[in-house]
Structure 1
Amino acid sequence: MAFDVSALAAYTEQNEALLVTDSVLGAKTASLIKSAGNVMVGVKSAETINIMDTDAIFQAGGSCGFTASGSTTFTQRTVTVGKIKVNEALCPKDLEAKYLQKALPTGSIYDSIPFEQEFAEKKAKTIASQLETALWQGDTDSGNANLSRFDGLVKLIGAASGPVAANSATYIATAPISAATGIVASNVVSIFDGVYKAIDAKVVAYDDMTIFCGMDSFRTYTIALKNANMFNYAFDGKSDSEFLLPGTPIKVIALQGLNGTNKIYAARLSNLFLGTDLLNEEEKFEIFYAKEADQVRFVSEFKMGVNFAFPDEIVKFILS
C-alpha cells in the first residue's frame, strides 16, 4: 500500500529566519552637499542664504586724495523646508497565519515585530531613496505624496534667471536636441562636452565643480566613451558611479534623483545648500509598542529643503 499524497500541495521550504530585502539607493545628493559643509540646521520653516558680492575698481595712483568707487551688495535666496513624517502601524497578529509565525514569540501578545532590525534598516534606506529623488524632482504643485513636500533643484533651477542653457548651438553643434531625439549614443559625448563648455570660465577650475546626471544618462555616456575607443579605453570610475570627464578635472556623478529626467546639470557643490531642522534628522526614528491599540508603530518626522546661492554659476541641459 502506497502513500496517497494527491491532496497535498508540493512542499516548498520557507525559511522564517531569512528575510531578503531589495537594494535601495541612499540620498547621495544630501551626502554630497553635507560634504561641502553647506547644511543649514535649525530650520523650522525657511531660512535665507545670505550672499555678499563686491567689486574692486582700480584708479590711477601716484597722487594725494581719495575718490570713492565700487560697491558691495547683499542678496538672499531662501531655503524653504518641507515638513515630512512617516507613520506605519504593524499588527504582529497578521503574521500568525503565515510562514512568519515561527518568528513570533510564544504567547498571544506581541510587543515587537520579527526582523525588526532588517525592517528598520530597509525603512531608513527607503526614506533616503525617496529623499534623493525629491531633492531633484520635488515640486510642491506635483500632487505626488513623496515629491510635493518641498521644491527640488530641477524646479528651482528652471525658475531662476541666470543658469546657462547648454542645449544651444553655442555649445553643441547639433543643438537644440529635441525630446524626440533624446540622449543617445550618437550625441551623448557632445552633450557632456557642451555642458562643460557652458560652465562659466570664472568657476570652471574650482575643485568642487561637478556635472550631475541620472544613472541612465551616465550609463549611455560611459558605453559611448568605451565604444569610441574600444582598444584603448580605461574607465577609472568608482563603484558609486562617478569619474572625471575625459581630459578635464570635472567630476561626473550619477544620481538616482535624476533618473528618467534626461536632464544634466553642472554646479559647484559649495553652491548647493541643504536645509533641515537637525543634522541627519531623516535617519532618526522610533519603533514602539502602542499598548492601547495592540500595534507596533514606526514613527519618523523630519524637515528637508534645498536651494542654491548663485544661479549664474549653474549650467542646465534640458531637451527641447
Structure 2
Amino acid sequence: MPGDPSSGYHESFHVNTAGNYMVVYDLKMQKIYFHNAGTTYHKVTKYYGELLIEEEAAFTGLNYTSAPFYQPEKKFVGWYEDALLETAYVPKDLTSDITLYAKFVDSPSVNLRFYDRNLDIKVDNGGFNEYVVFAYGKNTDGTEPLGGWPGRMMQKVVDMGHELSYGYYALNISGQDRPEKVTFNNGCQPFEPEHVSTPELVLPADKNLYEHDVAAWSVMTPVHDAATSYAINFLYETRNCDATGAVNNISSHKWEELGNLFNELAPDVQADLKNATATLSGDLVSQAMARYVYILQKYGTVTFTNFIDRTLPPSGIPAVRGDNKQNFYVLGIMAFIAVAGFFFLNRKRRY
C-alpha cells in the first residue's frame, strides 16, 4: 500500500504472515510501496527526441507512472511509447523493458504584469481597502496551471521599505505553468459579495501587460518594467508634494537619495525615464516624470538638481495639469490678443 513520507503522515503496516517483504520508495513520486510478492523490475529508457534523458527501474506488481520532465520555455504534454509521439503511454504494470518518449509544445515563460490605474481590484475590510491581486489560470483541457481559485498572488513592487503598488502588479510564470487564459481577481470566491475580477482573458502569445482601465493587452519590456519600478519609488517618496506649490514638502536629502537610485540604474533604463512623456494621463513612468518636471519648475534646479537631465519646458509654461481647461484659457487669450492686434494694425493703416 502506498504512503507519503514527505507529508508528515505515518501509516502503520500490519504483517499477518511472516516472510520476506519488499519496500520500494519512489524518490520522484514521493511514494512508498510495500508488498510481499517476489519482486523483479524492468528497465525504462526515456528520450526527448534523440536525447537520452535517463534510465530507471520499474518494479513489477505496481502500475508504473513516469514523472514529468521539464524543459525551459516548453510545456510537457506527456510520455509516448513511440518516437513519432502517436501512442500515449498509460500507467500499467510493466511485463518487459520499455522505451518512452517525451512530448512538448512551445510555451515561453511570461513576466505577467497587471496595471489597475483606478485601483478597482481590492478587498473592502470593514472600510479599509486592501489592494491585492491574484492571477488565476485555466487551460482548455480544464487544468489549472496556477493552482485552484484564486490562483497565485501577484507581487507588488517592494523597495526602500514600502509596499505600495500604485496599481502595478507582477508575476513571473514559467513556460510549463503558462496558462491559456487568465483571470485577475481580488482573492474572494466568485459567490462572495466582495468578489471583484476581470473577465476570463486569453493570454496573448506576444503580450504580457493587461491594462485594466482600458481593457487591453500591451507589451511591457524589461527596460520599461525597471523604469516603472523606479517611477513607483519616485511617486511614493514625493507623495507629499504640494500640488499648489505653496509649501515645499520634499527634503533635499530625499531628493539626493532618488538621484543616487537613478544613477544606479542601467543606462537604457535611465534613457527610458529621461525620454518619457511627462503627463498625468500616461502610465506610471509618465506620471512620475510629470511630477519630476513640476518640482524642478516650481522650486528651481538650484534647490533640486536635474539628475535625470530632462529637457524642461520654458519657464512659465506649466508642466503638470489636472485638466486642459487652463491651457485652453491661455490659448484663448493669446488668440484674442492676436485678433485684436490685427484689427488695431488694420485700423491704423487707414489714417
* TM-score category (smaller protein): under 0.3
Higher-Rg structure is 2
TM-score when scaled to structure 2? 0.20
TM-score when scaled to structure 1? 0.21
